[in-house]
A and B are shown apart, each in its own frame.
Chain A
Amino acid sequence: MNFILAGINHRTAPVEVRERMNISEARLASALSDLTSREGIEEGLILSTCNRVEVIANAEPAADAEPLIRRFLADYHHCNLAPYENHLYWHRQESVVEHLFRVASSLDSMILGEPQILGQVKQASAIARETGALGGELNEVVSHALAVGRRVRRETAVGSAAISVAYAAVELARKIFGSLEDKTVFVLGAGKMSELAARHLASSGARSILVTNRTYERARELAEAFQGEAIRFDQIFHVLDKADIVISSTGSPHFLIHKEQVERALATRKNRPIFFVDVAVPRDIDPTVNDLDNAFVYDIDDLGQVVDANKKQREREAAWAEEIVRQETQKMMRRLASREVAPTIVAIEKRLNVIREKEMERFRGRLGALAPAELDAVDGLTRSILNKILHGPITELKSAAGHAERGTIIQTIRKIFGVTE
């Protein structure tokens, strides 16, 4: 295990540098074969998205990996790395594992908790596996990174709260109506924001969409785009009671919808709730409508507040996610390290057992005829002495796993017991 990672991301490098260093998906396979064909590199993975380019390698234990990666980057991009030096970050060994886990969990993303990165890591590792660049310890780390990413999504809310105004509106609608499947959305005024919110609601399953605008033609256009129904502007209050969600963004200089009209609409619809999203400035809906039972009014600032609260919620959840990443990193390191010492333990056990069996054979004659039970006892005795002797060194080996000087410790113990490669 000799992991190394070199990367640039949205925090360390501006977009000009990121695009210069980008390795497009089409060229990923050839780049990976180039990387792993280099002397000293056993496995490789390249993660290249619009926010990051990372080259990860598992080098041979004795190899100095950093110059190898530098040369690869310089060769691949036909450039001198010196001007980019400040943008590069490096991770080694355990910190590579932790970094990969954080990336897959979307803790290193520009938008905390965004869901695409997990798919991008999956895609990158699939390509690397196909080209044969992954297949050993690094492969195991990458597979586990995907599992960690999924665990973080499942166990924390780091990716669940809406952090855009349009999504916040959908989230609020869900908090009121549960499923949006059979709901009717009424879009008042064709604006960019209302269109976006309506689009989100439609893709969340809203059944029918009604559209109105001061110019009927524009309403018709928009209604067609949503496969909805265009309503004449003067008919607003005839259909208000049919709407579960009202998105308003007209250019009206004063309130368009007042308390009394909403009261009437609520009475007609037997007090089933109405959710008003008022994205117009100046506002279209009288804020006192919110005082009515079963009516909920959110203006653009209110939605902004929800977004802020959700961002804070994601940050709080990120602390839990970091804890999960820490735990999983330690687990992974223990697994990798114990694999490193396992052959030594097996070799020592085998060697001592050979000695034991030989000695048993040698003393067989001197002990005379033994009953099977006595033979078993002698066998058990020698085994137990062996295990007692081995206990110390094995414990030492296991605790050396993950230790910086484990190479020396392993070598010393091997020498003491006379097991060599």
Chain B
Amino acid sequence: MHPVFLWCALAFYGVAMVWVLPSAARGRPTLTSIALSALTLGLALNGAALMMAALRLHRLPVIDVQSALSFFAFNVTLAFFLAYHRYHVTWLGVLILPFVFAMTLIAALNPSRPLVSTTLRGGWLIVHSSAMILGYTGLFLTFVAAVMYLMQEGELKSKHPRFFYNRLPSLEVSDRLYDRSLVFGLICLSVGILTGCVWASRAWQGTWELDPKILATLFTWFIYLILCSTRFSGAWRGRRSAYVAILGFVAVMVTFLGVSFLSSQHGFFPTISRMH
């Protein structure tokens, strides 16, 4: 991972994050060209950093902290572009870009470590890691859609349309974004968990099933499974499912970042050499 590229990407993400604010505050449906070009440049540099790491490693760079986070940031930015072109909601930028900025910042602050373990080089692992990160990207969008839903729903219920009434999308748009990203996220998460199990059963000895990160991931997966089934059966919609999506994403963050510090097998966060 090339730190210079990542720092430049960070700078452009920062510019985009600030330049989204005027459009969002005034409720414009389009972003300024400054915000869009900064975001495009940030994405390109982020992609270039990933590409260089991939060339060096000869595979998708998703297995150390820096690359995993910057791959996450890259996906989220890409998802923002897609959602923005589809729904024209500038407020998506206000909710998404600070997250992208934070992820890239953490990535840039954590220097990449050389891979010492040969077990980490399996093809299953690449599929596992990238599927997990794609899944988290989808679930992050679900979270954002849920936040937008709750804000707009609050305005509508209060009957005093204020700031957000004119600036946020209709409940229907938030719902659609919610449904699509949830299905995408859950499918990726499932693929990620399955491939992870296959890989772990080959590479690790002992009771890897009790690894805190694996348990936390299963718990998260379970939350989303319930969410998905209640939502599509029509039992929970609206406010309730929005709250659960927010809870679910908190679980994702705890799993992705927090539990890594407790896990021995998934120790790629504190150090990778501790594994064997």
A contact set with B: CB distance below 8 Å: 155, 157, 161, 172, 174-179, 269-273, 290, 293-294, 296, 298, 302, 305-306, 309-310, 313, 320
Contact = CB atoms under 8 A, between A and B. Distances in A.
Q: Is the interface of B mostly helix, strand, loop or mixed?
A: loop
A271 B159 contact: no
B237 A179 contact: no
**B interface bracket (residues with beta carbon within 8 Å of A):** 20 to 34
B236 A273 contact: no
B237 A294 contact: yes
A172 B239 contact: no
A270 B237 contact: yes
Nearest to A161: B166
B169 to A, nearest CB: 8
B171 A305 contact: no
Interface in B155-183: 156-157, 159-162, 165-166, 169-173, 176
B234 interface: yes
Given A176-B156, A177-B171, A309-B162, 15 more contacts: A155-B28, A161-B166, A172-B156, A178-B170, A178-B173, A179-B172, A270-B235, A270-B237, A271-B234, A271-B238, A293-B237, A296-B157, A306-B161, A309-B161, A313-B166
Given A271-B238, A294-B237, A176 B159 contact: no
Contacts, number: 64
Contact of B170 (A157, A174, A270, A290): A174
A302 B27 CA distance: 23
A320 B160 CA distance: 23
A302 B158 CA distance: 10
6 contacts: A155-B28, A157-B166, A176-B170, A270-B237, A273-B237, A298-B159
B156 A293 contact: no
A305 B238 contact: no
Contacts of A296: 156-157
A178 B156 contact: no
Nearest to B169: A178
A72 B237 CA distance: 68
Contacts of A273: 171, 237-238
A313 B27 CA distance: 11
B165 A175 contact: yes
A234 B131 CA distance: 55
A82 to B, nearest CB: 48
Contacts of A271: 234-238
Nearest to B234: A270
B152 interface: yes
Nearest to A178: B172
Contact of B238 (A161, A177, A294): A294
